[in-house]
Amino acid sequence: MAKPVCVVAGVGPGNGLAISQRFAQADYQIAMLARQESTLEPLQAQVANSMALPCDLTESRDIAATFARVKAELGPPDVLIYNAGSGLFGAPLDTRPEDFTTAWRVNALGLLLSAQQVAPDMISRGGGSIIVTGATASLRGGANFTAFASAKAAQRNLAQSLSRSLGPQGVHVALVIVDGIIDTPRTRELFGDKPDATYLKPAAIADSVFQISAQDRSAWTFELDLRPSGEAW
Amino acid sequence: MAKPVCVVAGVGPGNGLAISQRFAQADYQIAMLARQESTLEPLQAQVANSMALPCDLTESRDIAATFARVKAELGPPDVLIYNAGSGLFGAPLDTRPEDFTTAWRVNALGLLLSAQQVAPDMISRGGGSIIVTGATASLRGGANFTAFASAKAAQRNLAQSLSRSLGPQGVHVALVIVDGIIDTPRTRELFGDKPDATYLKPAAIADSVFQISAQDRSAWTFELDLRPSGEAW
Amino acid sequence: MAKPVCVVAGVGPGNGLAISQRFAQADYQIAMLARQESTLEPLQAQVANSMALPCDLTESRDIAATFARVKAELGPPDVLIYNAGSGLFGAPLDTRPEDFTTAWRVNALGLLLSAQQVAPDMISRGGGSIIVTGATASLRGGANFTAFASAKAAQRNLAQSLSRSLGPQGVHVALVIVDGIIDTPRTRELFGDKPDATYLKPAAIADSVFQISAQDRSAWTFELDLRPSGEAW
Amino acid sequence: MAKPVCVVAGVGPGNGLAISQRFAQADYQIAMLARQESTLEPLQAQVANSMALPCDLTESRDIAATFARVKAELGPPDVLIYNAGSGLFGAPLDTRPEDFTTAWRVNALGLLLSAQQVAPDMISRGGGSIIVTGATASLRGGANFTAFASAKAAQRNLAQSLSRSLGPQGVHVALVIVDGIIDTPRTRELFGDKPDATYLKPAAIADSVFQISAQDRSAWTFELDLRPSGEAW
């Protein structure tokens, strides 16, 4: 029997890599998507049974072509992890319309387009999971998170529509609210003086994402938060 | 002394007209914005001290030109009512990317662009109000409200960012969550069998919008819901 | 015709007094309830058309007797403002069960008992308002707000049940979330170094409470927040 | 080395039994608490390494004695599952104060008292989990859920206070929102005509509860929902 297929859309050296590794460990074939081939290849080399697929997740045609290739080479995806994000910060009066637009395209439009690629096959086979990586900004528009928070809220309500529409058709949609700083070389450089207990480890995030994807359909989670023990909230 | 200026962005025969009339009654000069000149003119004729300005609220240049004209002819706005909405419904797999995009442009991008037009003058004069018309879909992504709910959530978090950023600078930002069917000739035709107690009267909505705009700055509301007594929630 | 009757349950020198004055100004007869006669009398002296009624809002029999007296002397209440609160703070492991219980009795049980006193008459006359004063703690359990936040959450869900049950019978129930420090002589002493823009003025709170009580039934608010312009949130 | 200890407070034939079995399967010693010895004993017989402890979770002294016995016989608990609930339904005007009080005592006061029994040992050993079973009513006060919804909201904010206070001290507190009907012989009798896809299986709930208790402290969940695929929400 063919191994199950997991697409991780939006792979970087933090969550995306760790999630890819976690599903690989559970014997999935992994399709790793990111914009830049140069970022993607060293990461793909660290994941068993994986392929790297450069893809601009804001472009409808690029998405369609990429998912067609996944289906042709690996088979229809059993799991889609939508992990594409973007870090555009700033106050409303300093936010350029083009950055506001890009944040929305990456976080919300890209999720719709990707879900439209995988959901029909999931429905016809009677199962599948779409798990989206959110952030505290999904729930709250901070003064200096204009583009990011608006895009993440658009993504959250879209994930709800997906869940309510696809759940009764057997497809599990979930949103993981990551609240805190993810432990990567880059964030350690930026926030290096913070105590260890305030960082989220990518492997721990990945483990919860995997557990959610494996839930029995009689008790599915739509939304859960993940937060390090030392984070004030 | 010049009369204060209120811009109502997104005027139709329901809320937009009623809000324009309510502020006119409080002796404001009213700038009424809507896409179609043909819709706008018969409505403008029902509002004292008003001018009609056709404007596509998804287009940056059109917005800039329109607000420049308001400023030149009436003076810098004291109040902006952002009432532009759009009724694109459907399940996620039936939602066309272009409709998903349009809903977001009207509800979220247009609000950012309009706020950027009026807020600097409000800050420099130390006061002003920006009031946004939301909906239940601002809080919840229903199975068949894909484009609308995602756009309204993007708008809500943007309104929060605006409030948190502009509030300490003296500008009041608020979001009115309208939960139910607004009483207009069109909705009576569509849902005519519903009892009277399940319709929101535009004049009642307009009255609460006006009261919110008039709150003392020591006790500002960011969010309130409006719902007819007969609505189940 | 008899003047309308407003009961303010939980009167102190801040909101309770200001709300009493605001309704008195609108020509209501005011029944002012508080536990201590000594606190109540100097406040009642500042409110036209008012009577002072000492009442322990955690005691069923005391509540019944007090509302019976209001009804006999002034008539059945048109408006009930439930403003009783309590400031028990502390971490969970430092919270004594008796303080946890008292906070709940004052904020939640007292509201149920008071609403049961006034609602039947409101229903039979086809109108009336019950407005509850909440706090940020109604929405969020902080580390050091154990008793208060748990009690305020109990009160909020109760207010929702009241609203959903009584609304279709013509009774308007609303919850006002006060977010910040109320400007009273005592809070100025405690937090005197805070800037003016971070205090809520009781008269401004009272004005919004009054406006909510006067809303047309086609567009009732259940929940609104009130926050000074200088409050970070 | 001694086996870890899990206390399940509030055991019935649904979640409580399944959670007990799930932790037993992971080689925990289980202390099963319920009010009636007669309910408890046949359930305890189905769980390996377990002891049955009749306990009234609304009574401070009973709780203290029970937890003292657990500590003496099994050792200090590593995990507390607070699963005590109560099904008092009805509209606000039909809700008797004594039923309103009992619901709050079982859901909120009992959690505080139980947490106070186990948290100090967890803190001193640098680890432990307290997981609370909530319901949709934790988030929403329905018209006919007066006592239950108010009590569940009190419990939720208390769980938040516990999490914010104890998390930085190494104790994981979480709230599981169960949304739907749990599949038990009793519910099948009551709602037997509902489709299978609308029931939550206790074993599936128990599995997620166990996974949450096993999360790495760098990525703890505070709140997650569990819902069957066929539940409309």
User: C200 vs chain D: nearest CA distance in angstroms?
Assistant: 25
User: A42 vs chain B: nearest CA distance in angstroms?
Assistant: 33
Q: Which amino acid is at B58?
A: T
Q: What is the pLDDT of residue C91?
A: 98
Whether B233 is in a domain gets the answer no
Average pLDDT over residues A177-195: 91
Q: Give the nearest partner residue to A167 out of D167, D218, D229, using CB atoms.
A: D229
Mutating which of C162, C177, C187, C218 best tests the B interface, going by the most B Cβ atoms within 10 A?
C218
* Interface list for chain A against chain D, based on CB atoms closer than 8 Å: 164, 167-168, 170, 172, 183, 197, 199-201, 203-205, 207-208, 211, 215-233
Is pLDDT at D212 greater than 80 in this prediction? Answer: yes
Parent domain of A55: 5-226
Q: What is the pLDDT of residue A1?
A: 65
Q: What is the pLDDT of residue D217?
A: 98
**A72: Cα separation from own chain's centroid:** 22
pLDDT bracket for residue B87 (50, 70, 90): low
Whether D233 is in a domain gets the answer no
Terminal alpha carbon distance of chain B: 46
Contact between C218 and B233 using a beta-carbon 8 Å cutoff = no
Contact between C157 and D144 using a beta-carbon 8 Å cutoff = no
Enter the tokens of residue C55.
Answer: 């009442």
User: C223 vs chain D: nearest CA distance in angstroms?
Assistant: 13
User: A98 vs chain D: nearest CA distance in angstroms?
Assistant: 34
Whether B10 is in a domain gets the answer yes
Comparing alpha-carbon positions, the chain B residue that sits nearest to A59 is B97
Is pLDDT at B86 greater than 90 in this prediction? Answer: no
DSSP D37-49: HHHHHHHHTTSTT
pLDDT bracket for residue C193 (50, 70, 90): confident
Helices A202-213/D202-213 angle, 10° precision: 180
Q: Which residues of B touch A113 (CB under 8 A)?
A: 97
Mean pLDDT of the residues in chain C = 96
Mutating which of C161, C163, C171, C173 best tests the D interface, going by the most D Cβ atoms within 10 A?
C161
Mutating which of A80, A93, A95, A157 best tests the B interface, going by the most B Cβ atoms within 10 A?
A157
Contact between D146 and C161 using a beta-carbon 8 Å cutoff = yes
Average pLDDT over residues A190-196: 87
The C-alpha atoms of residue D221 and residue C220 are separated, in whole angstroms, by 36
Q: What is the pLDDT of residue A164?
A: 98
Domain count, chain A: 1
Whether A33 is in a domain gets the answer yes
Average pLDDT over residues B129-152: 98
Contact between A161 and B91 using a beta-carbon 8 Å cutoff = yes
Asked if C125 and C108 count as a contact pair (C-beta separation under 8 A), the reply is no
User: D20 vs chain A: nearest CA distance in angstroms?
Assistant: 17
Q: Give the nearest partner residue to C227 out of B170, B222, B233, using CB atoms.
A: B222
Is pLDDT at C213 greater than 90 in this prediction? Answer: yes
pLDDT digits (tens, 9 = 90+) for C11-32: 999 999 999 999 999 999 999 9
pLDDT bracket for residue B85 (50, 70, 90): confident
pLDDT digits (tens, 9 = 90+) for A124-148: 999 999 999 999 999 999 999 999 9
Q: Give the nearest partner residue to D226 out of A167, A208, A221, using CB atoms.
A: A221
User: C105 vs chain D: nearest CA distance in angstroms?
Assistant: 9
Residue A192: phi, psi to the nearest 5? -60, -20
Q: What is the pLDDT of residue C87?
A: 65
pLDDT digits (tens, 9 = 90+) for C65-93: 999 999 999 999 999 999 998 767 899 99
Q: What is the pLDDT of residue A193?
A: 85
> How many CA within 13 A on the CB side of residue D178?
24
Least confident span in B10-19, B20-29, D87-96:
D87-96
Contact between B140 and A154 using a beta-carbon 8 Å cutoff = no
pLDDT digits (tens, 9 = 90+) for C160-174: 999 999 999 999 999
* Cβ pairs bridging B and C (under 8 Å): 112
pLDDT bracket for residue A43 (50, 70, 90): very high
Average pLDDT over residues A177-196: 91
Whether C231 is in a domain gets the answer no
Q: Give the nearest partner residue to C168 out of B199, B219, B229, using CB atoms.
A: B229
Q: What is the pLDDT of residue B231?
A: 87
Enter the tokens of residue C12.
Answer: 């102190």
Mutating which of C169, C178, C229 best tests the B interface, going by the most B Cβ atoms within 10 A?
C229
Asked if A77 and A7 count as a contact pair (C-beta separation under 8 A), the reply is yes
Is pLDDT at B88 greater than 80 in this prediction? Answer: no
Q: Give the nearest partner residue to B224 out of C204, C205, C221, using CB atoms.
A: C221
- Could you give the percent of chain B with pLDDT greater than 90? 93
Whether D167 is in a domain gets the answer yes
The Cβ of residue A18 has, within 10 Å, a number of other Cβ atoms equal to: 24
User: A184 vs chain B: nearest CA distance in angstroms?
Assistant: 28
Mean pLDDT of the residues in chain A = 96
Whether C233 is in a domain gets the answer no
pLDDT digits (tens, 9 = 90+) for A99-130: 999 999 999 999 999 999 999 999 999 999 99
Least confident span in A214-223, C188-197, D100-109:
C188-197
Q: Give the nearest partner residue to D227 out of A205, A220, A229, using CB atoms.
A: A220
Average pLDDT over residues C201-222: 98
pLDDT bracket for residue D207 (50, 70, 90): very high
Is pLDDT at D1 greater than 80 in this prediction? Answer: no
The C-alpha atoms of residue B83 and residue B8 are separated, in whole angstroms, by 7
Enter the tokens of residue B71.
Answer: 């400023």
Q: Give the nearest partner residue to D228 out of A183, A207, A218, using CB atoms.
A: A218
The C-alpha atoms of residue B197 and residue A110 are separated, in whole angstroms, by 41
CATH code for the domain in which residue D179 is found:
3.40.50.720
Average pLDDT over residues B109-115: 98
Q: Which residues of B touch C207 (CB under 8 A)?
A: 215-216, 219
**Is the CA virtual torsion D119, D125, D127, D133 positive or negative?**
negative
* Cβ pairs bridging C and D (under 8 Å): 139
Mutating which of B59, B118, B157, B177 best tests the A interface, going by the most A Cβ atoms within 10 A?
B157
**Is the CA virtual torsion B82, B83, B84, B85 positive or negative?**
positive
Q: Which residues of A touch B124 (CB under 8 A)?
A: none
Contact partners for chain D, using 3 or more CB pairs closer than 8 A, are A, C
Is pLDDT at A88 greater than 80 in this prediction? Answer: no
SS3 D200: strand
Mutating which of D218, D225, D227 best tests the A interface, going by the most A Cβ atoms within 10 A?
D218
pLDDT bracket for residue A192 (50, 70, 90): confident
Q: Give the nearest partner residue to A141 out of B97, B109, B160, using CB atoms.
A: B160
Q: ipTM for the complex? A: 0.97
**B90: Cα separation from own chain's centroid:** 23
pLDDT bracket for residue B41 (50, 70, 90): very high
Q: Which residues of D touch A216 (CB under 8 A)?
A: 201, 203-204, 207
Comparing alpha-carbon positions, the chain D residue that sits nearest to A230 is D168
Q: What is the pLDDT of residue D86?
A: 72
Contact between A97 and B166 using a beta-carbon 8 Å cutoff = no
Q: Which residues of A touch D221 (CB under 8 A)?
A: 208, 224-227
Enter the tokens of residue B42.
Answer: 């018969």
Q: Which stretch of DSSP H or E encloses residue A51?
A: strand A50-54
Contact partners for chain B, using 3 or more CB pairs closer than 8 A, are A, C
Whether D231 is in a domain gets the answer no
Q: Give the nearest partner residue to B215 out of C164, C204, C221, using CB atoms.
A: C204
Is pLDDT at B120 greater than 70 in this prediction? Answer: yes
The C-alpha atoms of residue D26 and residue D47 are separated, in whole angstroms, by 12
Is pLDDT at D97 greater than 80 in this prediction? Answer: yes
Average pLDDT over residues B92-119: 97
User: D192 vs chain C: nearest CA distance in angstroms?
Assistant: 28
Q: Which residues of B touch C199 (CB under 8 A)?
A: 218
Q: Which amino acid is at B90?
A: G
* Cβ pairs bridging A and B (under 8 Å): 138
Q: Which residues of D touch C151 (CB under 8 A)?
A: 154
Look-up: residue for tokens 């528009």?
Answer: A141
Comparing alpha-carbon positions, the chain A residue that sits nearest to B149 is A157
Least confident span in A87-91, B148-152, C29-33, D99-103:
A87-91
